[in-house]
Each structure stands twice: as structure tokens, then as C-alpha cells.
Structure 1
Amino acid sequence: MSDKDDGRLDPSAVLPRLMQLGAVLNRSQLMERAMDRVGIPLDRPAVTVLVTLRMAGQPLRVGEIATRMQVVGPHVTRHLHELERRGLVRRATDPHDQRARLIELTPEGGAAASRYLETVLGWFTDAVADWSDEDRQTFGRLLTRLVDDLTARLADLDDHTT
């Protein structure tokens, strides 16, 4: 019995599919289509800030937003100025540290992020609509595990090279 027949993962078969998924998401302009559909005239990073705050369900410090987006703080700060100017986010005092500021969604920003998420999640839901409940649950569990394990392995590589 070969590796491919014994149920073990064949990375050489998975990697091209992951690359194809990345290409499909980029080529389809998924984010841009969703932003157009819900009327959000922002660039990708700014929308990602809104979505990060919406999914957190609470105000966050700039550093926490950056960590969740896997970028550096100044990258987030640049986009916050535009989001504040448009009335989509605002700064609030951190109740645990009066010197620190939290970033929170305004009602308009929360509504825009919710519309965006509903649109994107609707497309993903439609894509797996014919899958069994078990297949959807298995896929979600394994995708989460893959991302978490790969992230940890890459962090280990980063730790050993610095």
C-alpha cells in the first residue's frame, strides 16, 4: 500500500490546492466584491480593521488589532485615521488604564462590518450548501487545526532565525 492509499496526508497534493484556493480568492476579488455589494468604499486593510473589531465583539487597543491582523501597529494606525474621519471607528479611554486608548466601532462601522461579513459568509455558506453537516464540521475543525499548527510551526522557525 502506498502513502497515498493509506489515508496519510500527502503534502505534495495539498499544497497545490491551497495555492489554488489563494489564487481563486484573489482572482475573484472576493473582498472587493463584498465591499462593493455592501457599499463600503474602503481598501482591504481598512475593512480588515472593521471586521477584526466586529469579530472581537469589544473595543481593542491598536496593538491587539495589529496582532489579530498579523501586522505591525503603525500599519493599523494609518488606517484608523481614515476610519475615524469617516465616522466608522472612534477612540475611547480604556477603563482599566486611563492613559491607554481603545478603538471601538461606531454604529455605522458596526453595521458596515456586519453587512460585509454577512455577504462573505453567505458566499461560503452557499459553496458548502450541498455538503453534509458532518463534512462541514470536519472541514471547519481540520482547517482550524491546519492554520493553528502551521502558524505555530512558522512562529518556531521565526524564533530560531532571530
Structure 2
Amino acid sequence: MSSRVPPDIAEIERALSRVAHMLTRFRQHDRTVVAAGVPVDRAAVPLLRVLAEEGPMRPGEMAARLAVEAPHVTRQLQRLEAAGYVERVPDPDDRRCLRVTLSRAGADAVESIRASGRRWISDALADWSPDDRERLAGLVHRMVDDFEAHSGSRDAETARN
């Protein structure tokens, strides 16, 4: 591979780094959850979102889906269960196992977090045209899909070697 990086690739990497930094700052999370009225750790939000999007699942499935270690998921789920945001229910496919599902409070919390985030995005992009916002959404989805596909091919390549 050439050591020369095309300028557009370097600029995309720079922009993604800026976005990642901005979205993962503690203050941004704190503002979002305070505005949403949902006092949860930053690490718990992806768990709530995946349950809202994909439905009940086993903790191990959540860890795999989020590409994090299982003990991390277990700790977060314990906190979310104590706060009343998730519940453990029997797995219909294997009664020896449990799945995690959102409680009513958890579903409300996810919707509040989403609404807070959408307000923030709407305010930040208020000067953008609807066409530009639609184009951005399409390109971001395309980029994530391509990144996921490429990541999967890299995982398969690593497993072969």
C-alpha cells in the first residue's frame, strides 16, 4: 500500500475523528441525558438503543452485537435493571436462559434520549436545507454500511490467517 494518502481520505478521517470526539465527550452525553431526564451512564445508552431496535436478547448476543466484552454488558445491565429500565425474561427458545428486554420505563427512556438527540441535531443543522440533510443521512448510512461490510471482510481475513 502506498504511503501517500489521497487528500479526500485524509479529510474524511479527520472529519470522522472530530465527530467521534464530539459525540463521545462526557459533557455532550451529560447534556443529552439531562435534557432527556434519563440519568444513565454513557455506556448504558447503546444497550438501551440496541434493545429498542432489535428487541429482547441474551446478554452475550448484546455484547457481540455491540462488539464489547460480556462483563461490560453484564455490569451495565445490572445497573439498568436496578434502575427499572430493563427486565430479564425467560428465553422462549431455551427456558434455561434469560433474555433482557426493555421495561416500559426503559422504552420511555430510549425515546426521551432519541428526542433529545434529535432536537440537538435539528438545532445544529437548522441552516441546512432539507435536501442537504437528506443527502447527509443517505451518505452516512452508506458509509456505515460500507464500513461494516469492510470490517466483516477484515474479520474473516484475520480468522483465516
TM-score by length of 1: 0.81
Regions of 4+ moved over 3 Å: none
Question: Any residues of structure 2 matched to 1:19-30 within 5 Å, and which?
Answer: 19-27=17-25, 29-30=27-28
The secondary structure found in structure 2 opposite 1:98 is strand
Alpha-carbon distance in structure 2 between the residues aligned to 1:95 and 1:27? 39
Structure 1 stretches lacking a partner, 5+ long: 1-7
2:149 counterpart (141, 147, 152): 152
Q: How far apart are residue 133 of structure 1 and its match? A: 2.6
Q: Does 2:33 match 1:35?
A: yes
Matches within 5 A, 1:64-143: 64-143=61-140
Deviation at 1:161, TM superposition (A): 3.0
Q: How many angstroms apart in 1 are the aligned matches of 2:64 and 2:116?
A: 25
Question: For the Cα contact (< 8 Å) 1:30–1:120, is it kept in 2?
Answer: no
Change (3 A) 1:85 1:48: same
Distance 2:64 2:130 in 1: 32
Q: Which one is further off, 103-112 or 151-160?
A: 151-160
- Cα deviation for residue 134 of structure 1 reads 2.3
Report how far residue 111 of structure 1 moved: 1.4
Q: Distance in 2 between matches of 1:28 and 1:44?
A: 8
Quote the RMSD (CA, aligned, Å).
2.3
Distance in 2 (alpha carbons) for counterparts of 1:135 and 1:67: 34
* Cα shift readout 1:69-128 (whole Å, capped 9, x = no counterpart): 221322211111111122211101122332221111111122122111110121112222
Alpha-carbon distance, 1:11 to partner: 0.7
